[in-house]
Amino acid sequence: MKQTISVLVENRAGVLSRIAGLFARRGFNIESLAVGPTAEAGVSCVTIVVDDRENVMEQINKQLNKLIDVIKLKEYAPEEIISRELLLIKVNANAQNRGEISELARLAGGKICDITRNSITIEYCDTPDRVENFIELCRTYGLKRVVRTGAAAIEKGTGQLQLDE
């Protein structure tokens, strides 16, 4: 099952390498990883999606907690969170199918951000699963390039992951 971990970290040099190194050396697989600053100065949030086939969540959780720069973390089951990923996708296009592709993008809720004589670049933001589906739909036209940010996630409802006082 895919699990999502939100990790609040001190925004210091090396913190990402510490997290990545921990996953690598202990053999935990990262599905995706997204990082960015939070509303709190000096604190970043790392969203990690893990494929937990070997029931390693407990160890991942505990080992991450041991990193001094990790302030707090929480793991979420898929139904507990709202998860979004940004996709930038460049597909082959020509005068004949340009309309069809743009219609597809519009229907799916994507946005066209660049058009050339033989390509269209679409920006698409949705859950990782739907991003996956959209890529499959585009594959028909031939993919030039696919760039994904990895999922960012936030808990449903009023709950929040906050720093302790």
Partner 1 sequence: MKVCQAMVKCLEAAGVTELFGYPGAAICPFYDALADSGIRHILVRTEQNAAHAASGYSRVSGKCGVCVATSGPGATNLISGIAAAYMDSIPMVILTGQVDSRLLGRDVFQEADITGAVEPFIKHSFLVKDEAEICRVFKEAFYLASSGRPGPVLIDVPMDVQQRETRFSWPENVQIRSYKPSTKGHTGQIRRAAEAIRNADRPILCAGGGVFSSGAQEILGEFLSKVRMPVVHTMMGIGAVPHTVPLQLGMIGVHGCRGANLAINRADLLLLAGTRIADRSVPNPALLSQKKKVIHIDIDPAEIGKNIPADIPVVGDLRLVLEQLGEELSPQCFPDWEREIHFYQNQALPSVSVPGSIDPATFLRQFFAGLKPGSIVTADVGQNQIWATRQFRVPLGRFLTSGGMGTMGYAIPAAVGAKTACPEQPVYAICGDGSFQMSLMELATICQHHIPVKILLFANNRLGMVRELQDNHYGREIAVSLDGSPDFVRLAEAYGIPAMQISKTEEFAAAFSFLKEEGSALLEIRVDPAEPTLPQELFE
- The residue ranges that bind partner 1 (CB under 8 A) are 9-10, 13-14, 17-18, 21, 25, 58-59, 62-63, 65-66, 68-72, 163-164
Give the 3-state secondary structure percentages of the chain, helix then strand then coil, rounded to 5. 30, 40, 30
Shorter beta-carbon distance to partner 1: residue 79 or 164: 164
The C-alpha angle 9, 37, 8, rounded to 5 degrees, equals 25
Shorter beta-carbon distance to partner 1: residue 68 or 147: 68
Q: How far is the CB of 110 from partner 1 (least distance, A)?
A: 39
Q: How far is the CB of 83 from partner 1 (least distance, A)?
A: 25
Shorter beta-carbon distance to partner 1: residue 15 or 151: 15
Q: How far is the CB of 57 from partner 1 (least distance, A)?
A: 11
Shorter beta-carbon distance to partner 1: residue 59 or 118: 59
Per-residue exposure over 125-134, b if at least 16 CB sit within 10 Å of its own CB, e if not: bbbbebbeeb
Q: How far is the CB of 30 from partner 1 (least distance, A)?
A: 17
Taking alpha carbons only, the member of 21, 160, 2 closest to residue 85 is 2
SS3 93: coil
Which residues make beta-bridge pairs with 74? 6
